[in-house]
Amino acid sequence: MLSRVEGLNAAIFIPFVQQVKQAAIDVYKDVFEGNRHRIFSLAFYMTDNEIAAEEILTNVFCRSFAKIPKPDAETIDRTLVNELRELMPIGCMTLECAPAAKVEQVRTNSRRADLERSVVQLPSTERLVFLMHDVEGYDHARIARTVGITEMESRQGLFQARLKIRELLAKASAE
């Protein structure tokens, strides 16, 4: 058997190997293209820095592909959270805002820039929960699995984030 294999020309296998390589590259491209905008956006709003967000994006995909040849969105999100944990504390809720006694007209008078500034001022865990739920549309179960918190903590963090954003937007519109 070995002598038969030794006698085969390696050129026969080259097209097959190239097809396998191209198929793997296509899978990587599909996964990357399907997730890169979301990962960059989350990384950008978590760091408030475009260069840091690009570096996080690169690290997230390198680590994800090193673990699994075709990672799904949740695996990529968990890798993002792990990457962010190296830069900031994620997992503990820190906001304890009281509901507003007076309703401010922030819904109609808010500028996008003010909203973005308000979001990046949130503590990291509440910011991530807010972004995942209100921007990306994740449910609380997925947020809990991804971040490593309970669903109740996710709900509470979202509620606190919204209260804080309202407070910050009211301040910005008063200025």
pLDDT at residue 17 in the model: 57
pLDDT at residue 87 in the model: 96
Task: Give the lowest-confidence range in 48-57, 60-69, 93-102, 123-132.
Answer: 93-102
Instruction: Please state the rounded mean pLDDT for residues 36-47.
Output: 97
pLDDT at residue 106 in the model: 47
pLDDT at residue 14 in the model: 63
Q: Which of 41, 37, 61 is nearest to 50 (CA)?
A: 41
Both tokens assigned to 17: 């190997």
> What type of residue sits at position 152?
M
Distance in angstroms (rounded) separating the CA atoms of residues 75 and 16 = 30
Task: Give the lowest-confidence range in 28-32, 78-82, 151-155.
Answer: 28-32
Task: Give the lowest-confidence range in 91-100, 137-146, 148-157.
Answer: 91-100
- Residue 97 exposed, middle or buried by CB count within 10 Å (0-12, 13-18, 19+): middle
pTM of the model: 0.82
pLDDT at residue 26 in the model: 84
Task: Kindly state the percentage of the chain with pLDDT values over 90.
Answer: 65
Confidence of residue 81 (pLDDT cuts 50, 70, 90): very high
pLDDT at position 3 over 50: no
pLDDT at residue 36 in the model: 96
DSSP-derived secondary structure for 124-173: HHHHHHHIIIIIT---HHHHHHHHT--HHHHHHHHHHHHHHHHHHHHHHH
Q: Which of 120, 128, 41, 145 is nearest to 90 (CA)?
A: 128
